[in-house]
Amino acid sequence: MDRSKLYRRFRTLLIANRGEIACRVIRTARAMGLRTVAVYSEADRDAMHVALADEAVLLGPARARDSYLNVERLIEAARKTGAEAIHPGYGFLSENAEFARACFDAGLVFVGPTAGMMTAMGSKSGSKALMEKAGVPLVPGYHGEAQDDATLAKAAEKVGFPILVKASAGGGGRGMRVVRSTEELGPAIVSAKREAKAAFGDDRMLIEKYVDNPRHIEVQIIGDSHGNLLSLFERECTLQRRHQKVIEEAPSPTLNAAQRETVCAAARKAAGAVNYVGAGTIEFVSDGKDVFFIEMNTRLQVEHPVTELITGIDLVEWQLRVAFGEALPLKQDEIRLNGHAVEARVYAENPTRNFMPSVGKISTWRLPAETGGLRIDAGYREGDTVSPHYDAMLAKMIAWAPTRDVAIERLNRGLEESDVRGIVTNIPFLSALMTHPKVRANAVDTGFIERELAVLTQATPAPGDLELCAAVAAVVNDERQVAQGDANSPWQTFGWMPVGRRQRNFAFRVGHGAGHGPELKVTLNYGGGLSTLVIGERELAFAIAPKDGGFDLTLDGIKSSVAAVIDGHELYLRTRNGRFDLHWVDPFGGETEEHAGEDKIVAPLPGTVVAVLAEEGAKLEKGAPILTLEVMKMEQTLRAPYAGVLKSVKCKVGDIVQEGVELAVVEASEE
């Protein structure tokens, strides 16, 4: 193979990805003086990465297979724009050997390992065979070529339950299932294969022994074409949900210095088995005593910023320099570990509804400034639309500090100061996670989030006097702002009235829509003197001073900072007591109590029906699976809301359904 075709200097880089990682790569590439080319689907015409790049090329329709996963269109986009190199980001085609080979055949530099290295290490099955030969310790399992049901079932019985059924080509928890019995195995394999095929175009599976109370530790490595191969310390990614990482930190708080050197040496040995070139990650699972190799990711990882912050190294810059054919700028003993970094993934999802993805237009995007050790890698802005066609990650928030405790405090402060509205996000869940005492004490394993889910997603406390007064102040402040363009509006001056002293009554409910629970009433007294708020028998003097993103509320002489967002009658408040969602009851009536009941089997989001799991006329127990949708690259199973009979199924496999469409009818049993 001609090395000059693999690694050479280039001036124009095409980023074959979208969202946060495309924006991340574009920023470093432009800082290095490179011209950047974005690609996009019809759903991403106005996306942030399109706006950041020097040029952008439309690939095709919204579906990933017709756009971001279309190799021919990506190569053609590079040809049309004069791009000499392609950076794949992560996800999509980043670990696809055929794509790397197609780039080489087209005379393009692929910013990553060669197709051969990717085949050897990117396949979980292939890498395990290679590591077994090299003497790297493995989790017991099956990673053979035969993929028939009988072979997989026999392998599972031999390994012993519980096991993991795992996509050979994947990552991010997709195509992965924990199986605890023979009865669960068949459906788990079918579901995992289907999800893996949709996400990666490859449904090959492997079987692994499931390690109880495991910790997930991974090592960042990078190699150049001159034979240099370095490890850049380790990350701990134990806090996961459904095998998808939620919080990552570096270095691992679990390892001591001797263990750190052992696992990093094992990672270099693993990558050295294929003379690896490019950035990659060697992943291990630990049972508290031993560390086992589980896979290699032959690409940049979502969590790479925590490594960058503790080493001072820009990994994207190093990727590009390796692709130029340059030698790595540092030797192993020159890489220093400095402080601690923690990262949280911000997703458009609703933790209180089983983390159902959320789609729609972002009406408010308020994230704190990147100062004081805080870094934010985002792929969205205010006004952008979150599509149902792609991964739900909006941004990553990363905090660095000299110590782990301070890094966690900085990250949590950043989360508390964030407001993203118009869609539902997991920000409150992340904040609850970072303040959990067991997380602070590092007393966790990969099953921690599932066990503590009720605590981590519990409803916020009922609003107190501060929050009810803040709700009134938010409404009044919003009316002031609306009136600023109207010099004749009476709301220009708070407390305006034609004569005498007046009252204005407010009522709120907890939650959104029409809210729930009793009305919480507050009376505003204004005009002809001090303004007060009356709650029950309590009368409180108050004043407000507007500021960006909210206002200062002085209540009985105590000033509090309040962040507030108003969307019609929906109020989002953040006070010193936490986050509160309130519904302002329409003072002129017109409230409706009609809601789509949770008992309806409807599509929660636009998606594709990938499986019908029950037949019409079947008797169902509460929670029995009825059908499965693929939504935002993940499968969502819709279940019976109560015991009854499945009267009808109004869809079939392959149907593309829109949000709110009724998919099945369940008739409750008389019991």
Q: Is 579 a catalytic residue?
A: no
C-alpha to C-alpha distance for 54 and 36, rounded to whole angstroms: 5
- 473 and 445 in a common domain: no
- 517 and 663 in a common domain: no
C-alpha to C-alpha distance for 112 and 97, rounded to whole angstroms: 10
Among 523, 550, 584, which residue terminates a domain?
Answer: 584
Q: Which domain holds residue 347?
A: 218-236+255-456
Is residue 127 in a domain? no
Distance of alpha carbon 350 from the chain centroid:
12
Is residue 520 in a domain? yes
The encoded tokens of residue 337 equal: 């570990």
Is residue 75 in a domain? yes
- 406 and 347 in a common domain: yes
Is residue 248 in a domain? no
CATH number at residue 341: 3.30.470.20
pLDDT value of position 491: 43
Is residue 135 in a domain? no
- Relative to beta strand 601-602, strand 578-584 is unpaired
C-alpha to C-alpha distance for 451 and 428, rounded to whole angstroms: 18
- 96 and 78 in a common domain: yes
| SS3 state at 659 | coil
Stretches where the chain sits below pLDDT 50 are 487-493, 495-499, 590, 592-598
pLDDT value of position 171: 66
The encoded tokens of residue 35 equal: 């011209």
645 neighbors 619 (Cβ within 8 angstroms): yes
pLDDT value of position 542: 87
CATH number at residue 656: 2.40.50.100
pLDDT value of position 185: 94
Length, in residues, of the chain: 671
> Which residue is catalytic, options 174, 299, 509, 574?
299
- 495 and 469 in a common domain: yes
- 399 and 279 in a common domain: yes
Is residue 246 in a domain? no
Is residue 119 in a domain? no
Q: Which amino acid is at 666?
A: V
Residues 6+ away with beta carbon under 8 Å from 409 = 401
283 neighbors 294 (Cβ within 8 angstroms): yes
pTM for the full model?
Answer: 0.81
- 338 and 198 in a common domain: no
- 532 and 645 in a common domain: no
Instruction: Give the number of other CB atoms < 10 A from CB of residue 489.
Output: 14
pLDDT value of position 594: 37
- 150 and 105 in a common domain: no
CATH number at residue 8: 3.40.50.20
The encoded tokens of residue 120 equal: 């050897």
pLDDT value of position 125: 67
- 614 and 496 in a common domain: no
Look up tokens 């905090």; give the residue.
399
- 422 and 374 in a common domain: yes
| 491 DSSP 8-state letter | G
| 37 DSSP 8-state letter | E
CATH number at residue 180: 3.30.1490.20
Instruction: Give the number of other CB atoms < 10 A from CB of residue 253.
Output: 14
Q: Which amino acid is at 514?
A: A
User: What string of DSSP letters covers 142-196?
Assistant: E--S--SHHHHHHHHHHH-SSEEEEESS--TTTTEEEE-SHHHHHHHHHHHHHHH
C-alpha to C-alpha distance for 584 and 606, rounded to whole angstroms: 29
- 508 and 363 in a common domain: no
Is residue 450 in a domain? yes
CATH number at residue 570: 3.30.700
**Helices marked H in 388-463 — which ranges?**
404-416, 427-434, 437-440, 448-451, 453-456
pLDDT value of position 671: 58
Q: In total, how many domains does the chain have?
A: 5
